[in-house]
Amino acid sequence: MKMDLLQGTLDVLILKALSWGPLHGYAVVRWIERTTEEVLRIEEGALYPALHRMERRGWIEAEWGMSEKNRKAKFYKLTDLGRRELHAESATWHRYAQAVGKVLQAAQAV
């Protein structure tokens, strides 16, 4: 089942993927897909604009390196600002998920 991401979700997913260390774009996508057991699928058309936007905001930095398949690839890593953004966004998402959970578990309308 393919699920569409809510606006702003992709950024926090990418930041979380990069919290474990530098990754190239395809590795970011694979980490998200594996972690969500293929529920979330990220298209290249969404990934690279998000990476570039986050780089402009100073949340991530990029440098060229060699992939595990010995190909030239751009590797992205979190900056201190990006780590702070991840922390803030994670807290927001946890509050949001709890609120939605309360609504879905409500026994009746007030």
In tens, the pLDDT along 44-58 reads 889 999 999 999 999
Amino acid letter, residue 50: A
- Looking at per-residue pLDDT, the higher value among 109 and 87 belongs to 87
**In which region does residue 32 sit, left (phi positive, over 0), alpha (psi from -120 to 50) or beta (all else)?**
alpha
Mean pLDDT of the region 5-14: 81
Residue 6 has pLDDT above 80, yes or no: no
CATH fold of 9-105 reads Arc Repressor Mutant, subunit A (1.10.10)
Kindly tell me the burial class for residue 29, based on how many C-beta atoms sit within 10 Å of its own C-beta (0-12, 13-18, 19 or more).
buried
What single-letter DSSP state applies at residue 1? -
The reported pLDDT for the residue numbered 108 is 78
Mean pLDDT of the region 84-110: 90
Its pTM stands at: 0.85
